[in-house]
Structure 1
């Protein structure tokens, strides 16, 4: 996590993250609730141990890694690692820092400016040399180690002075400091004189953003070489330094340090600056005398990855601590800690005094495992990858190369009976530092001796717990191996648990064994013996292949006497229907989907295939696929002469919202709802649709909210309008209205009728003397091809003319082919045109068009609301036939 300051301490014109500054006591937020805790220790080198603590909490898993270094060990050295090349010029990942300096372990150090310069905020000492002076603040603690290995966890101070050859002097504010906020709330560059040497990097800071009058002095061998004002940075001499001043400091430079002038400087760091060997800056004091301090000088709230350094009461043990926070693939691996929780944890671990270091994405720990020659990353960084940081605290071994003392054995901790385990070995000396060995000279053995070694590969013959032993001369090492035998297995699990295939198809089988203790282990195809009737199919390389006919039976798997059976059904995922044009033809697929082709729906004999199909993935939100199928002729040139019927059964518990049948329209490349009705009120219900096309079909549950319009609330036709809008038959206007009282034209009516009955557009377009709107052309062409509409004797269609109720009756009757009906009795029957008399009788008896107050009003036009109700009734009548 980056350094964060409160509003009262915001950087002036510098890009820094925000550190919450608190002078209140440590807020005791609810700590994590511990469920269980385990720990393990691993020797890194003589005097250094890596302790891993894994906790289970109510909030989730929590991992903490702690390096414990014995400061009294003569072969153990603690020092700061700086940057990628020993300077602050560029940062580096902690693992790379450790590898470059041959450290046996390391952890990230100070807070730093992640954007402006990448340099640290606090102090840094390396090998007894000052790299960077402390910040001029009284709320930032640091860690230091003297040359006699005395640890210091204090607020470090700095004082210095620059003296010109004429005897005039000016206070030195710092050495190799980036911009930061001093306690006066001003930036550290204001009125300040700062020194930069080659440990800063290759180039001076030069002109500063938002400050003018910045003067830099190039000093070499104690003599001023250049005086530059508001100029870009210049190279820092290897045998000299740069003095940078602003305000009063710039005035001092200009008056007392001209080119050729002599200049000297002195400084001191408190406490014990003359004895410091290693040091890094930090933030708040976390632990004071084995307790929480009265308050945190700064507090970064929330649970984060965190880094800390602490010491024991006797000052002999150094603790370097990394708290992990990590989420991978949506799974929380470690929840992190608050600053208060970290302090409590350190106290429980026996830490007497501790300081918070940089955390969040910077928290990184590296350590060398026993027998290894290089370090490895120990924690999982919060940002998934290591962040480059400016400094780290390193642990080094100064022990001489010793003789081979022990062997570190690595390999599997558990294997299944029938499997082999391959083991590796590495050597270390009496100081726990790595020793090169020849693995081929290692002798291997196991206790008990129920198994055999081939080189370093062990094959057990029985289940149980084995001690694997490696020996080379007088050195040896062991590892524990648990072998899962049949006596430990509670269940053999085969997936899929039930197999349904088409003839000749194959399916890959996966297997697992489960133990009585709840463990699961994957099996390989060769681990089990299969028993399968040859009439059913065959198993090879873990894949079952069905025979080429319809059959059922079982597969049997055997793993060292533990068995499992799998029911197998082999049958086609389709059925074929032989359709005769002179009689009704129907067929069912597994009893759930039935298709019927009435006599006359096809002009010639043909074969129709009803088959299951993959579910589409591109449906609108709110539509859930419950089943998919295709209905297609095996002869591609088959033409429909009439509609065919589809019945699709479903459980009422599966669909709680509105069911619908959708057909894939190849012309428009979209799914279109088909006119349908629901039948039955029991556990199993049927949705029935009448269709004019072949192709892909899906049964969906439509949980979308029915569309509503600004001007239809409470309207007598609102329900019919909503149903048509939901199914895509009717639409409103862009302003959110439907216009129920607006008149409807001939083109609009024909388009609604075609959409309601889902007529596919024919290839040929009819020819009228007047222009037909492009949007209505497919519907009018479909209506003309079905004899539903013909146009006027003069060869016009008059698409924009208002449709009359008589014309609506004729078009609806022709579309539905309702048939003969009793004569309708209307007071204005004598006004009904002769061409519409039979049609009015039919649509009246069908309940699609009704008069009002005994009048049919044959010459009146229809409103959009009246038309919506009529089209809604058309859909219901059509689907019910």
Structure 2
């Protein structure tokens, strides 16, 4: 059984922000094998602050028939319900992923629904991370960044990594670094590239706020350059909107980035390159933005011990070969939710040595397709009373 490799409990006792020893008699209750190397089961937790209900999907990545991948609604700047994303991708299970641009403080600017952190799907870099000060979600624990990801390397093992955008735009007589990729917010003085992966949503949000203040006014020093088949097709002062053809790259610059792009005119040849660079050097087949809460068996210092909320999290064990995807409900009499320290403790008791926190609250959702059923359905009770459309998620795939 998959659960025999460390994922061994369904009932635990939470006290003083830490997990007590598992209760072996409760192990395996309600477990269902939903595919090769993949199992699903409910959780019932008894805590000092009340009962907590949850769900866990365990994935054995050493099984060649089981893998993880990015769920997303087809464009970076889009959102969809997790059950729909799971079924559209043909996954047997899925949970919601990263925090995202859910609201907007700038008059006349619409939320993009784009995620905060990086995304890689099928080895393809879809987007980079916004500056830390532009993020949505709770404050980052010390030593973490919006560039942190939960990922699977090309070696087939899950891991925590960090991804930074590297790139350039080069033309005769000039060049500029490209510091953003399909992001709802660009660094001050920066230039970002937008591709057909972005979608149709306006790129106006990309030049609003600053690296330290998400609500700061939008920049007035901006430039957008449209490059088709390596040649400048047009240039304008303001970021535009609409679909981007697959033979086209749109560059958006602000402040110093604006000044650099002002040198370009229609007809100029430009070579644009972008990539996501993993800090540990391991190329990744899949990545989603996530906040580390445990590394090498040790919780990240300063994890919150007060706020109880619905949580979505992922844990890694057995040297990257075992993954636990966990959701717990909250904000109700039957399930109080967990704080971050308790969430890390739960994943540790499941056998994880590394773990991340994902978007929680009303976004927390798990969908599972059990054998003999045509579609994945929602297993938890979303605190909004219904599924919240989200930017992305983690999908579990079998063959």
Give the TM-score normalised by structure 2: 0.82
Q: Which residue of 2 aligns with 1:176?
A: 182
Tell me if structure 1 keeps the 8 A contact 2:120–2:286.
yes
Find the aligned partners of 2:374 and 2:222 in 1 and give their Cα distance.
Answer: 49
- Matching residue of 1:190: 188
**Which residue in 1 is equivalent to 2:117?**
122
From 309, 324, 328, give the equivalent of 1:323: 328
Query: Pairwise mapping of residues 281-320 of structure 1 onto structure 2 (< 5 A)?
Result: 281-283=289-291, 285-296=292-303, 299=304, 301-320=306-325
Question: Counterpart of 1:441?
Answer: none
Distance in 2 of aligned mates of 1:389 and 1:315? 27
User: Does structure 1 retain, via aligned residues, the 8 Å contact 2:219–2:255?
Assistant: no
Rounded to whole Å, the distance in 2 between the matches of 1:78 and 1:91 is 20
Q: 1:272 to 1:165 in 2, by over 3 A?
A: farther
Residues 277, 32 of structure 1: CA spacing in aligned structure 2 closer, same or farther, 3 A cutoff?
A: closer
The secondary structure found in structure 2 opposite 1:336 is coil
Cα distance in structure 2, aligned partners of 1:279 and 1:291: 22
SS in 1 for 2:16: coil
1:91 has 2:79 as partner: yes
Q: Which residue in 2 is equivalent to 1:790?
A: none
Equivalence for 1:164: 171
Q: How does 1:789-808 map to 2 (within 5 A)?
A: none
2:182 and 2:198 in contact (8 A); partners too? yes
Change (3 A) 1:32 1:236: same
Larger CA Rg, structure 1 vs 2 = 1
- What is the root-mean-square deviation of aligned Cα atoms in Å? 2.4
8 Å CA contact 1:36–1:57 kept in 2: the answer is no
Residue aligned with 2:347, SS: helix
- Report the CA distance between 1:384 and its aligned residue: 1.2
* Residues 203/314 of structure 1: CA separation in 2 closer, same or farther (3 Å cut): closer
**8 Å contact 2:305–2:342 — kept in the other structure?**
no
Is the alpha carbon distance of 1:215 and 1:393 closer, same or farther for their aligned partners in structure 2, counting shifts above 3 Å? Answer: same
Return the alpha-carbon distance in structure 2 between the equivalents of residues 72 and 243 of structure 1. Answer: 41
- 1:654-733 to 2 correspondences below 5 Å: none
User: The residue matched to 1:66 in structure 2 has which SS?
Assistant: strand
Tell me if 1:355 matches 2:356. yes
Match of 1:139 among 135, 138, 145: 145
Distance in 2 between the 1:235 and 1:273 partners? 33
User: Which residue does the alignment assign to 1:30?
Assistant: 16
Label 1:272 to 1:197 Cα distance change in 2 as closer, same or farther (>3 A).
farther
* Preserved contact between residue 325 and residue 336 of structure 1 (Cα < 8 Å): yes
- CA spacing shift, 1:160–1:306, aligned 2, 3 Å: same
Contact 1:33 1:57 (8 Å CA) reproduced = no
Match for residue 278 of structure 1? 286
CA contact (8 A) 2:161 2:278 kept: no
Give the whole-Å Cα distance in 2 for the aligned partners of 1:362 and 1:203: 22
Pick the aligned partner of 1:249 from 246, 257, 271.
257
Q: Which residue in 2 is equivalent to 1:666?
A: none
* 1:355-381: CA deviation from partner (whole Å, max 9, x where unpaired): 111111111001111221211111111
Displacement after TM superposition at 1:292 (Å): 1.6
Contact 1:135/1:157, CA 8 A, preserved across alignment: no
* Residue 189 of structure 1: how far off its partner (Å): 4.3
Which residue is equivalent to 2:197?
Answer: 199
> Structure 1 391/301 Cα, relative in aligned 2: closer, same or farther at 3 Å?
farther
Name structure 2 gaps, 5 residues minimum: 1-13, 104-110, 133-143, 209-217
Give 1:44 shift. Answer: 1.1
Q: Report the secondary structure of 1:266's partner residue.
A: strand
Q: Judging changes above 3 Å, is the alpha-carbon distance between structure 1 residues 34 and 348 closer, same or farther for their aligned structure 2 residues?
A: closer
Residues 358-367 or 222-231, more deviating: 222-231
In 1, Cα distance between the equivalents of 2:394 and 2:321? Answer: 17
SS at match of 1:346: helix
Distance of 2:364 and 2:326 partners within structure 1: 9
Residues 143, 97 of structure 1: alpha-carbon distance in 2 compared, 3 angstrom cutoff:
same
After superposition, what is the alpha-carbon deviation per residue over 1:484-523, rounded to whole angstroms, capped at 9, x for unaligned?
Answer: xxxxxxxxxxxxxxxxxxxxxxxxxxxxxxxxxxxxxxxx
Whether the 8 Å contact between 1:218 and 1:236 is mirrored in structure 2 is no
Q: Which runs of 5+ in 1 are unaligned?
A: 1-27, 180-187, 399-881
2:92–2:369 CA contact under 8 A, matched in 1 = yes
Report SS of the residue matched to 1:333.
Answer: coil
Deviation at 1:277, TM superposition (A): 1.0
* Distance (whole Å) between structure 2 residues aligned to residue 340 and residue 300 of structure 1: 6
Q: Which aligned pairs between 1:458-497 and structure 2 lie closer than 5 A?
A: none
Q: Once the two structures are superposed, what CA deviation does each residue of 1:766-820 show, in whole Å capped at 9, x if it has no partner?
A: xxxxxxxxxxxxxxxxxxxxxxxxxxxxxxxxxxxxxxxxxxxxxxxxxxxxxxx
- Distance, in Å, in 1 between the alignment partners of 2:289 and 2:32 is 28
Cα distance, 1:397 vs. partner?
A: 1.4
Higher RCO, 1 or 2 (CA under 8 Å, sep at least 6)?
Answer: 2
Structure 1 residue aligned with 2:94? 106
* Cα distance change of structure 1 residues 253 and 333 upon mapping to structure 2, 3 Å threshold: same
The structure 1 residue matched to 2:248, chosen from 229, 240, 253, is: 240
Whether the aligned pair in 1 keeps the contact of 2:159 and 2:320 (CA below 8 Å) is no
2:262 counterpart SS class: helix
1:214 aligns with 2:222: yes
CA distance in 1, matches of 2:66, 2:102: 32
Q: 1:31 to 1:203 in 2, by over 3 A?
A: closer
Q: Which residue of the other structure, out of 36, 53, 61, is the alignment partner of 2:51?
A: 61
2:107 counterpart residue number: none
Query: Does the aligned pair in 2 maintain the 1:106–1:366 contact within 8 Å?
Result: yes
Q: CA deviation at 1:55?
A: 2.0
| Equivalent residue, structure 1, for 2:71 | 81
1:291 Cα deviation after fit: 2.1
CA contact (8 A) 2:224 2:236 kept: yes
SS at match of 2:319: coil
1:44 to 34, 59, 79: 34
Give TM-score, length-normalised by structure 1: 0.38
Q: Could you say which residue in structure 2 is the equivalent of 1:450?
A: none
Q: Deviations over 1:156-182 (max 9, x none)?
A: 22322221233x211111100112xxx
- The verdict on how the C-alpha distance between 1:248 and 1:99 changes in structure 2, with shifts beyond 3 A counting, is same
